[in-house]
Structures are given as structure tokens and as C-alpha cells.
Amino acid sequence: MNHASVPTRGPASPGELFLSFTTLALQGFGGVLAVAQRVLCEERGWLSREEFIEILSVAQVLPGPNVCNVALIVGDRFFGLRGALAALGGMMSAPLIIVLGLTALYAQHAANPLVAGALRGMGAVAAGLIAGTGLKLAATLRTNPLGPVACGAFLLCAFVAVALLRWPLAGVLVGLGVIAWALARSRLG
């Protein structure tokens, strides 16, 4: 890992990776991203925030579920292919069993107003957790070579394009990404 400023320590074995990703996935209702950031950066200290956002950037521009790509890449950094499979397996195995069990239960309880209300409340919290994670990660932009003004502009453009204009994500990522890359490339000299 190339960020000397934040010392990071890794998991002891692929088994520890599997278990860690299992427990973090089981805490992730309505999305795992917020939990993944907290566990990997804050609780385990396996990644700095900068490393997390770097891995998330790669996960984001490639096809596939973002958090699964994050698990794969993190696992691969520590133990190669074995680590990648351990992390992804941990992320998916237990939740898969639970979700299929819930599918059987759901059919009987979908019309219950308590269930519908609880799902609605959970959805509202899950939505907030993603923005909360964004607020935490925004602190890493202070040291970004683009500078605060360009960072703010790119952040705002991405938000407006996807949230307000509802442009397709792939187009926004490629379009804005190329401009931001070219600008960063020129600032890095």
C-alpha cells in the first residue's frame, strides 16, 4: 500500500477476511457501502479513507455490484485470488441464505402494514447512510491534487447530472471522468 501517512495493517488470513466480510455484510441493510467503509477503515484499520475511495472509484467505473467489486479488490490486495474469493464469498454466502429465506416469508406478510411501514423506515435510513458515508469521505478531498474548487465542481456536476437530470450513470462517469482525469493529469505535471 502506498499511503505512508496512514499506517494500515491487514487481516491475518483469508479465513479472517471471509469472517470479517460476512459480519459486515450482515450489518448492511439496504446497502453495504456504509458498513464496509466503517469496518474496513475505522474498526479494522485495513484501509485508509484514501485507499477506500480509490478502490471504490475502480469498483464504480467497472460493471458489477460496487460493494462486491470492493470486496474482491480488497481481498486480492491482501491474499491474491484466494483472498478475493474469500472476501466475496464472505460478502455473499450468509446474506444469500437469508434473502432466499425471506423470499419465502415475504409472500405471507407483504400486505401487513407493520411490515410495509418498517421497510419504508429502513429504506429512509439506508438512503441517509450513503450520504453520511459521502460526507465522511469528502474529508479526503482536502489533499486532492485537483484543488478544492475543481473538486467541488466535479462533485456538484455528478450530483446534478444523476440526481436531478437523471442522466444515465455510465455516460456521466465516462464524460465527467475523462474531464476530471485530464485536469488531474495536467495538475500532476
Partner 1 sequence: MPIPWLSLFGHFLLFSLLSIGGAITVAPEMQRLLVDQMGLLSPEQFSASIAIAQASPGPNVLFVAVMGYQAAGLAGAATTLLGVMLPSTTLALAAARWGHARRQTPAVRAFKAGMAPIVIGLMFATTWVLGSATPGWAAHLLTLASALLLWRTRMHLVLLVAAGAALGALGWV
Residues numbered 42 to 81 that lie near partner 1 (CB under 8 A) are 53-69, 72-73, 76-77, 81
Measured CA to CA, the distance from residue 150 to residue 183 in angstroms comes to: 9
Pick one of 16, 44, 89, 150: the residue that binds partner 1 (CB under 8 A): 150
Q: How many residues does the chain have?
A: 189
CA-to-CA dists, residue 177 to 61, 69, 137, 154, 181, angstroms: 9, 19, 18, 9, 6
The count of chain residues that interact with partner 1, using the rule CB under 8 A, is 109
Q: What is the DSSP letter of 165?
A: S
To the nearest whole angstrom, how small is the minimum distance from the Cβ of residue 134 to partner 1?
3
The residue among 16 and 89 lying less far from partner 1, judged by its C-beta, is 89
State phi, psi for 175 to the nearest 5 degrees: -60, -60
Q: Give min distance, CB of 74 to partner 1, in A.
A: 9
Cα–Cα distance for residue pair 73/55, rounded to 1 Å: 7
Which 72-131 residues touch partner 1, going by CB under 8 A? 72-73, 76-77, 81, 84, 88, 91-92, 94-96, 98-100, 102-103, 106, 110, 113-115, 117-131
